[in-house]
Amino acid sequence: MEGRSSTHADSRTDSTLVDSDAFPLAYSTGSFGLGGRGAPKEIDPLTAMIDHRQKWTGLVIIILIFTGCSQAPAPQRATEFLGHHLGETALEWKLIEEPLGPDPVQVCQDIIKSGVSAETDNYKDCATFLVSGQYSITTHDWKTMRERIFRFEGWKLAAIVEKFSGKERDDVGRELNLKFGVPQKSDSASASWQKSDAKIQVFYRDDGGAVLVTSQ
């Protein structure tokens, strides 16, 4: 009995040795192993600010990387001449030349259906256009009266020709220089400009000349 009483007394004595009034710091910080995890570490304000900025910098870099990868390069603008560009369809050509009129395909379909003789040039040209997409359309500019020829291959615009008179030679040269810049090749008889999608050539004669735009 005395042994058990002594053990109980020792246990009680040990529990009263750590008094909250005597050791307030021990209870407030948990440094004595009473279930606490220790005092919270004091963080320097400058260190916290640097860490915060580093996190935001990393986030901005990640956003820029994803944004840059998702942006496809802008498509290159097609070279235009007389308001047209190579590769445009007959319908696109019509919307520029005759917005309210029929497109070349429709015109040829109407000619074939009209019962015109198969021996006529119109019938033959339209039959070729409807089957293989080869066709030429000749127009005249209402202001300059220059003759213009539009050549289609595979139902798409493949070449543009503009003819001009001898007295218009200097004007045409200036127009081309303003539009396409300094020619890569030039002499008294011709000049040429090479673009990524088109080759522009001008040929001079005493009685006039012609501008030719092709893919090569």
In which residue ranges of the chain is pLDDT below 70? 1-75
Domain assignment present for 38: yes
For 178-202, write each residue's pLDDT tens digit.
Answer: 999 999 999 999 999 999 999 999 9
pLDDT value, residue 192: 97
Q: Mean pLDDT in the chain?
A: 77
Domain assignment present for 75: no
Residues of the domain holding 190 = 84-97+135-214
Domain assignment present for 1: no
Using an 8 Å Cβ cutoff, are 103 and 152 in contact? no
pLDDT value, residue 8: 45
pLDDT value, residue 67: 55
Q: What's the gap between Cα 120 and its chain centre?
A: 47
Quick one: 191 and 139 in the same domain? yes
In degrees to the nearest 10, what's the CA dihedral of 21, 23, 25, 30?
-110
Answer whether 0.85 is exceeded by the pTM. no
pLDDT value, residue 103: 85
pLDDT value, residue 32: 35
> Domain holding 195: CATH number?
3.40.1000.20
Total residue length of the chain: 216
Domain assignment present for 76: no
Quick one: 180 and 140 in the same domain? yes
Whether the CA torsion 125, 130, 135, 138 is positive or negative: it is positive
Quick one: 60 and 145 in the same domain? no
pLDDT value, residue 168: 93
Domain assignment present for 60: yes
Count the domains in the chain.
2
Quick one: 92 and 192 in the same domain? yes
